Structure 1
């Protein structure tokens, strides 16, 4: 979900895939990723060792972060740095408007579920998919290939750029 308040757009995760009773929320400023005036709210879980926080949602916009990565959270509740990679990746797909007559969102949902993958939707046109193993992804790619070729859907890997904080 996205909400704009006083010129700042906040992106939140309504249903984080690893929701837990002891979660924290921290903001990531998206300006270093060419999205000035936007903040993404990430769900985190404090590690028992106290050595950082584990990312418990699948980032929609922040680059260089994935589910299970370990980050440092500041006292002002911002993500300051990445200190440990989980080995997972995030595939993000954006469906353009207007929608074509052959809309692959339903096929994508089925492919994600059939492969046992986790995904989070931001609205009904943007999905972030947790990729623990690239070998599971072929049905996902196949489900949206036609739209990607027709430029009615676009994809990217979240690790195409490194994480940076302001």
Structure 2
């Protein structure tokens, strides 16, 4: 889901993967990743008063971050540093702008494959999904499906860590 405040577009997490563990919301500036005037609002669990926190959502657009990563916040509640990676990776896919039935069909198949895998995931609308892939988890069936759908121009996918986190 997104909403706009002035010229800035916020990417928000309606159902963060670890909502019960979160107690803080901060921002990630998306300009370094090619999304000018966009900010991702991330759910965190503050660890101490030193500005460190654990990521409690699966990033939709921020690169180089994943669920349970330790980050450092600025005084303005902006993520400014990846302190310690959790070892998880975020696998993200965007369903193409198909007709309503096409989006529904691809969405349902993505949901089914994620459910079979037992992995945590979040949706932004009905076309953008972020999946947590912890160390040792098997996401091969999902990736095989994504590869086939990408070849058919029905979705595109990426790992969030193909670009390192930066501000």
TM-score, normalisation: structure 1: 0.91
Supply the distance in 1 between the matched residues of 2:4 and 2:51 (Cα, whole angstroms).
33
Supply the distance in 2 between the matched residues of 1:58 and 1:115 (Cα, whole angstroms).
16
Q: Higher helix proportion, which one?
A: 2
Deviation digits for residues 49-92 of structure 1 (CA, Å, limit 9, x no counterpart): 96720000000000000000000011211101110000000110
1:141 aligns with 2:143: yes
Of 115, 130, 134, the match for 1:132: 134
Supply the distance in 2 between the matched residues of 1:21 and 1:45 (Cα, whole angstroms).
6
List 4+ stretches of structure 1 deviating above 6 A: none
The answer to whether the 8 A contact 1:104-1:144 is kept is no
Aligned to 1:74: 74
Aligned to 1:87: 87
Superposition deviation, residue 144 in structure 1: 3.4
Superposition deviation, residue 135 in structure 1: 4.8
Aligned to 1:36: 36
Greater Cα shift, 39-48 or 59-68:
39-48
Aligned to 1:57: 57
Gaps of 5+ in 1: none
Alignment RMSD:
2.0
Superposition deviation, residue 128 in structure 1: 0.4
1:150 aligns with 2:148: no
Of 107, 111, 114, the match for 1:112: 114
The answer to whether the 8 A contact 2:29-2:39 is kept is yes
Distance 1:92 1:134, change over 3 A: farther
Greater Cα shift, 103-112 or 153-162:
103-112
TM-score, normalisation: structure 2: 0.91
